[in-house]
Amino acid sequence: MHLDLATTSMLAGMALNETPALNTLTPEEARLVFTEINRSMPPGPEQVSSEDCQIPVEGGAIRGRILRPSMTAKSVMVYYHGGGWVIGNIDDYDAVGRHLAETCQAIVIMVDYRKAPEHPFPVPVNDCYAALNWVDTQRSKLRIHDLPLVVAGDSAGGNLAAVMSIKARDESGPEIALQALIYPVTDGRMGAESFTHEDKQLFLTTEIMAFFWDHYADSKTRLDPLASPALTASLADLPPAVVLTAEFDILVDEGRTFAEHLKASGVPVSYRDFAQQMHGFFAMPAALPAAGKAMAWLAQEMDRHLNPTERKDVVVVGAGFSGMYQLHKLREQGLNVQVFEAGSDVGGTWYWNRYPGARVDIESMAYSFSFSDELQQEWEWSEKYSPQPELLKYAQHIADRFDLKSDIAFDTRVASAHFDEDTNEWLVTTECGRRVRAQHLVMATGVLSASKTPDISGRDNYRGETYRTGLWPKEGVDFTGKRVAVIGTGSSAVQAIPLIAEEADDVVVYQRTATFTTPALNHALNKDDASVIKANYAEYRAKQRLNVLGVVDERSLERTMDVSAQERDRRFKAGWESGILPGMLFQFADLQVEQEANDAISEYIRDRIRDTVKDEQTAQDLLPTDYPYGTKRPCIDTNYYETFNRENVSLVNLRRTPIETITQKGIRTAEGEREFDAIVYATGFDAMTGPLLRVDIRGRGGVKLTDAWNDGPRSYLGIAIHGFPNLFTITGPSSPSVLSNMLVSIEQHVDWVSDCIQWMKTEGKATIEPSDSAEQEWAEHTEQLANMTLYPKANSWYMGANVPGKPRMFLAYVGGVGTYRMICDQVAAAGYRGFQAA
Ligand code: NAP
């Protein structure tokens, strides 16, 4: 006999403690001993939520316990604990249930069925069946909706789970998707050879098993198939089974034989015998590492049975503007597409970013789709810069108008995407266990969608309300009468602070880097102005497509220092009063490449801050001085600087007084602790690469994208990656993306990708990917262009500098939207130059 060390040590401990053999005790004493053994084990994972309930059964009610995992559940598992139908209860099994919930991502419902000898066969069977029916009929009340139903149990509980499957089949009961049988008792005759092996008499001995059977059912009734499922006439048409046994267990033969019979009857079966293990090991997950392995194996096999693989032409990840348009385009090409979206609705950025004041900062007439003339003519924007609710409505309108939702799976986050070189397909797996194979994978995951976990010490200490601008609650937040801290002063904070200040009693803004922002001059959109644009939309859109930023305004070709100081001032004033994002930067050609030119415009903005903010120290603290204007994303605002003149708003300059820690009640800096009712983190995103790298993407040879991009992202045209065939990134790193009107860039990328997929179909190509050299050349080109600008001088998210440990490099293509479009078109026209297609 060779048990593993942990199990050996557990048995030795029990021997030293002189744990009595259960068969020498009364049932009450045996129950107490069993409870003692379980109490000595560590509890299960705390993050599992627990709720007890009453389950109606014949003649009364029994206890149930609902254990919900911390992540999205993939199934609901009705669990029948072990203990020979005589001992054990759901408290003894709490840790087991919690481990199962987390490992199997299942809502585990533990059933405290009544025990023998007080309640012999068939009472436990009837209780368990009543519980199963109760779960199935209470789906919406229990919030388990259409999750597949699994019955599971260990030892005598495994017996009950097997019996439930038979009973449900024979009585047309609940539809069971899977039975998980952990070293099940299956045959009351106790005749299997393993009962005769001396070295298998561990924890459960032949005498103890006889003690259990004798209390449960007399020698005749125990032969009833609902007591001994091995004696069932036919095992055909039973649910798929996962059967697990332990090498040194008297029940090993019963479990294995039952698995073989199920298989022979046509039932899909996963079977594994756990070497070096004894009976009961599965129920000791905190003490025995093998139990963790067994649960992981169970989870894997459950996935395999519950989620057969589907086949599509293309999987698109994300249902923001890019994912929606990509779906529409590919459908038009006759392709079968599956979109996965983590949110509960379309909209992407505009679904998640619901913080007060969230609105677009490119004019809505320009920040809108052009692919459908009907759409652009019929849609009416109410403001120059539309607020988030209207942008979300626009996204919803597109989804409805083009009937997109039927191919989008909402509330479904993609966990992994692995390229299968044998079939030239991507195997995409969701966190809920759905698996889809597809020739092409389009990552339409956005560039600012991975909200950064704030890297501030003590964050978890805080007991008040906490919000993140990028993950704002759907129901909104009422700050009335509250003391609110806002950490961060980027675009999100610049929009949110003025509105939070109008509502809250007191607002303290914690600023690490002062921001440059200019007036947005937002206003209701004049219908006549909109009509003029609509009448000339074709021309307007053509301009956008060739413009450097994807807008219609043009950059001056003049150099800043070539004009007089008065003329510079006049132009800067015009920029300040333009009310558009590039209004200042377009005044001269060299503002983002010449330091002297940039110093001039930066000083102009600093003067406007000094003019606006009344308190001298606050004005001084709000002056951005350590990076050139435009090298961090500039903002446009409504009353940002003015807000600091309010009585209820103050500024903490973290350069002078850094945050020491977040406390239970607030924030402590060198100047002491301030208490808050709410902390708003406007601390930004793991931009560009974050949304891609949080999915486990693996290309040829199983190479992980995280490894391929260890030194920073590499991608040809920001669309495709060497070693990752048929994978396309919409507005990916090293494309213009964040330096442009995103809607223009999204349309261009989606059109290009769709054309490429169509070309592959026409040419009969199974795979396409860029060559290493084309990717290298593009990397050098994009870096060279970035180095000609002032961008690398700032610690910005454009440079990856906002995420500790992220490689420092410029993440976008600065050559302009129009130039980039031409390059992409030329690549395609030259038979996808730089790509290898096979
Ligand atoms: P952001 O620009 O990255 O700003 C994050 C802010 O949080 C910065 O002020 C940053 O300071 C601060 N911060 C981060 N970690 C911190 C820490 N540990 N301690 C103190 N301060 C910390 O993020 P964002 O405001 O969410 O905007 C991101 C991008 O989204 C924008 O640049 C823009 O492209 C887009 N956006 C657009 C709109 C729009 O269209 N209207 C609105 C919102 C956002 P440092 O600068 O010192 O790192």
pLDDT digits (tens, 9 = 90+) for 761-776: 999 999 999 999 999 9
Closest Cα to atom 36 of ligand 1: 491
Check whether 162 has a pLDDT greater than 70: yes
Atom of ligand 1 nearest to the CA of 353: 43
Residues 6 or more apart from 749 whose CB is under 8 A from it? 322, 719, 728, 730, 731, 735
- Provide the 8-state DSSP code for 452: P
Query: Ligand 1 center to residue 679 CA distance, Å?
Result: 15
Cα 802 to averaged position of ligand 1 atoms, centre (Å): 9
Query: Which residue has better confidence, 359 or 454?
Result: 359
CA of 801 to the centre of ligand 1 (A): 12
Distance in Å from the first CA to the final CA of the chain: 55
Q: Strand 60-68 to strand 106-111: parallel, antiparallel, or no bridges (unpaired)?
A: antiparallel
As given in the structure block, the two tokens for residue 290 are 């093998």
Q: Is 469 close to ligand 1, i.e. is its CB under 6 Å away? A: yes
**Per-residue pLDDT, 40:** 84
Residue 330 Cβ contacting ligand 1 at under 6 Å:
no
* Segment 89-105 mean pLDDT: 97
Give percent of the chain with pLDDT exceeding 90: 92
In sequence order, what are the residues at sequence separation of 6 or more whose Cβ sits closer than 8 angstroms to the Cβ of residue 23?
A: 205, 207, 208, 210, 211
- In this prediction, residue 1 carries a pLDDT of 58
CB 236 within 8 A of CB 269: no
Q: Work out the pLDDT band at 105, boundaries 50, 70, 90.
A: very high
Q: Which atom of ligand 1 is nearest to the CA of 469?
A: 26
Domains of the chain: 5-306 (3.40.50.1820), 309-450+687-837 (3.50.50.60), 459-681 (no CATH)
Q: Is 686 in the pocket of ligand 1 (CB under 6 A)?
A: no
Residue 111, beta-bridge partner list = 64, 80
- 685 in ligand 1 pocket by Cβ < 6 Å? yes
Q: How far is the CA of 592 from the centre of ligand 1 (A)?
A: 20
Residue 636 CA: which ligand 1 atom is closest?
Answer: 41
> Kind and range of the H or E element at 315?
strand 310-317
Taking the C-alpha atoms of residue 726 and residue 825, their distance in angstroms, rounded to an integer, is 18
Q: Position 495: which residue type?
A: Q
CB-ligand 1 contact for 684 (6 Å cutoff)? yes
Contact 188, 213 (CB under 8 A): yes
| Residue recorded with tokens 């379309």 | 346
> Which residues, 6+ apart, have CB-to-CB distance to 723 below 8 Å?
699, 700, 701, 703, 708, 769
Ligand 1 pocket test target in 353, 495, 656, 683 with most atoms within 8 Å of CB: 683
Which structure tokens are listed for 798? 């454009």
Q: Work out the burial of residue 739: count CB atoms within 10 Å of its CB; fewer than 13 is exposed, 13-18 middle, 19 or more buried.
A: buried
774 lines ligand 1 (CB under 6 A): no
Among protein residues, the one whose CA lies closest to atom 15 of ligand 1: 683
Average pLDDT over residues 318-347: 97
Residue 360 CA, ligand 1 centroid: distance in Å: 15
Structure tokens at 194: 């393993």
Angstrom distance (rounded) from CA 213 to CA 190: 9
488 Cβ closer than 6 Å to some ligand 1 atom: yes
Omega prior to 770 cis, within 30 of 0: no
Quick: pLDDT tens for 548-581.
999 999 999 999 999 999 999 999 999 999 999 9
Task: Report the distance separating Cα 748 and Cα 753, nearest Å.
Answer: 9
- Mean pLDDT for the chain overall: 96
- Kindly give the residue spans of alpha helices, DSSP state H, lying in 547-688: 565-576, 595-612, 616-622, 640-643
Tokens of 779: 């990397």
- Phi, psi dihedrals of residue 275, rounded to the nearest 5°: -65, 150
- Ligand 1 near 491 CB (within 6 A): yes
Q: Tell whether the model's pLDDT for residue 12 goes beyond 90.
A: no
Which residue's alpha carbon is at the smallest distance from atom 46 of ligand 1?
513
Mutate to test the pocket of ligand 1, among 802, 808, 811 (most ligand atoms within 8 A of CB): 802
User: What per-residue confidence (pLDDT) applies to 431?
Assistant: 83
Report CA torsion sign: 90, 95, 97, 98. Answer: positive
The residue whose CB lies within 8 Å of the most ligand 1 atoms, and thus the one to mutate among 367, 471, 491, 679, is: 491
Which residue minimizes the CA distance to atom 34 of ligand 1?
633
**CA of 493, closest atom in ligand 1:** 25
- Between CA 818 and CA 548 the distance in angstroms is 6
Question: Which is it for the CA torsion 18, 21, 26, 32, positive or negative?
Answer: positive
Three-class secondary structure of residue 793 per DSSP: helix
- Using CB atoms within 10 A of its CB, is residue 413 exposed (0-12), middle (13-18) or buried (19+)? middle
Amino acid at 93: Y
Cβ of residue 683 lying under 6 Å from some atom of ligand 1: yes
Q: Are strands 659-662 and 517-519 parallel, antiparallel or unpaired?
A: unpaired
| Contacting residues for 84 by C-beta, under 8 A, at least 6 apart | 155, 156, 185, 208, 209, 211, 212, 213, 215, 216
Name, in order, each residue with C-beta under 8 angstroms of 767's C-beta and a sequence gap of 6 or more.
424, 725, 726, 837, 838
Say if ligand 1 is within 6 A of residue 487 CB. yes
> What amino acid occupies position 166?
I
Q: Is the CB of 493 under 6 A from ligand 1?
A: yes
CB atoms within 10 A of CB 199: 11
Q: Find out whether 116 and 86 touch, Cβ atoms under 8 Å.
A: yes
Residue 308: what pLDDT?
82
Q: Calculate how far, in angstroms, residue 796's C-alpha sits from the geometric centre of ligand 1.
A: 9
How many whole angstroms separate alpha carbon 486 and alpha carbon 507?
7
Q: Rounded to the nearest 10 degrees, what angle do helices 527-535 and 537-546 cross at?
A: 80
Of all protein residues, whose CA lies closest to atom 43 belonging to ligand 1?
A: 492
Atom of ligand 1 nearest to the CA of 455: 18
pLDDT at 183 > cutoff 70: yes
Q: How many CA atoms lie within 13 A of 802 on its CB side?
A: 26
Q: Is the CB of 633 under 6 A from ligand 1?
A: yes
The answer to whether residue 432 scores a pLDDT higher than 80 is: no
Question: Mind listing the pLDDT tens digit for each residue in 730-744?
Answer: 999 999 999 999 999
Backbone angles phi, psi at 458, to 5 degrees: 80, 10
pLDDT tens digits along 630-686: 999 999 999 999 999 999 999 999 999 999 999 999 999 999 999 999 999 999 999
Res. 486: pLDDT tops 70: yes
Instruction: Answer yes or no: is the C-beta of 456 below 6 A from any ligand 1 atom.
Output: yes
**In the chain, what percentage of residues exceed pLDDT 70?**
100
- 455: pLDDT strictly greater than 90: no
Sign of the CA dihedral 279, 282, 286, 292? positive
Q: Is 155 one of the catalytic residues?
A: yes
Complete edge-to-edge strand list for the sheet that includes strand 659-662: 659-662, 666-669, 672-675
Stretch 325-330: mean pLDDT: 98
pLDDT one-digit tens code per residue, 231-241: 999 999 999 99
Q: 388, 469, 512, 742: which to mutate for ligand 1, most atoms within 8 A of CB?
A: 512
**Each residue's pLDDT tens digit, 51-96:** 999 999 999 999 999 999 999 899 999 999 999 999 999 999 999 9
The C-alpha atoms of residue 836 and residue 838 are separated, in whole angstroms, by 7
Grade residue 627 by pLDDT with cuts at 50, 70 and 90: very high
Ligand 1 neighbour 801 (Cβ under 6 A): no
Q: How far is the CA of 511 from the centre of ligand 1 (A)?
A: 11
Ligand 1: which residue has its CA nearest to atom 29? 491
Residue 414 has a pLDDT of: 96
Residue 382 CA, ligand 1 centroid: distance in Å? 27
- Taking only the tens place, the pLDDT of each residue in 697-711 is 999 999 999 999 999
User: Over 70: is that where the pLDDT of 719 sits?
Assistant: yes
Q: Which atom of ligand 1 is nearest to the CA of 632?
A: 32
Which residue's CA is the nearest one to ligand 1's atom 45? 513
Taking the centre of ligand 1 as the mean of its atom positions, its distance from the CA of residue 642, in whole angstroms, is 20
Which residue is catalytic, options 49, 50, 155, 382? 155
- Which is nearest to 695 in space by CA: 428, 433, 308, 302? 428
